[in-house]
Structure 1
Amino acid sequence: MRILVDGDSCPVLDIISHIAKKNNIELLVFTDLNHQHQLEYAKIITVDQGFQSVDMRLYNQSKADDIIITSDYGLAALALSEQTAVISFSGREFTNNNIERLLAHRHRQFKERRRTARHTSHKKRSEKDDLRFKNKLLEIIKRFR
Structure 2
Amino acid sequence: MTIYVDADACPVKAEIERVGTRHKLPIIIVSNGGIRPSPNPLIETIIVDAGADEADKWIAERAGPGDVVVTGDIPLAAKCVEAGAQVLKHNGEELSAQNIGNVLATRDLMADLRAADPFRQGGGRSFSKADRSRFLDALERAVHKAAR
| Separation (CA, whole Å) in 1 of partners of 2:94 and 2:46 | 24
| Separation (CA, whole Å) in 2 of partners of 1:144 and 1:115 | 40
Greater RCO, 1 or 2 (C-alpha within 8 Å, sep 6+)? 2
- Amino acid corresponding to residue 71 of structure 2 in structure 1: T
TM-score (norm 2): 0.93
| Separation (CA, whole Å) in 1 of partners of 2:121 and 2:113 | 10
Number of paired residues?
Answer: 144
- Amino acid corresponding to residue 57 of structure 1 in structure 2: W
Aligned to 1:133: 135
Aligned to 1:37: 36
Sequence identity percentage? 24
Kindly state the Cα deviation for residue 79 of structure 1 after the two structures are TM-superposed.
0.4
Aligned to 2:110: 109
Kindly state the Cα deviation for residue 39 of structure 1 after the two structures are TM-superposed.
2.2
| Separation (CA, whole Å) in 1 of partners of 2:122 and 2:45 | 31
Aligned to 2:26: 26
TM-score (norm 1): 0.95
CA distances 1:9-48 after superposition (whole Å, capped 9, x unpaired): 1000000011111110000000102x32332331000011
Aligned to 2:3: 3
User: 1:76 and 2:100 equivalent?
Assistant: no
- Amino acid corresponding to residue 25 of structure 2 in structure 1: I
CA distances 1:109-130 after superposition (whole Å, capped 9, x unpaired): 1111111112123211111110
Aligned to 1:91: 92
- Amino acid corresponding to residue 106 of structure 1 in structure 2: R
CA distances 1:45-94 after superposition (whole Å, capped 9, x unpaired): 00111010010011112122100000111000000111100000010000
Unaligned runs of 5+ in 2: none
- Amino acid corresponding to residue 127 of structure 2 in structure 1: R
Q: Which runs of 4+ in 1 moved over 3 A?
A: none
CA contact (8 A) 2:37 2:44 kept: no
Kindly state the Cα deviation for residue 142 of structure 1 after the two structures are TM-superposed.
1.7
- Amino acid corresponding to residue 140 of structure 1 in structure 2: A
| Separation (CA, whole Å) in 2 of partners of 1:80 and 1:3 | 14
Aligned to 1:121: 123
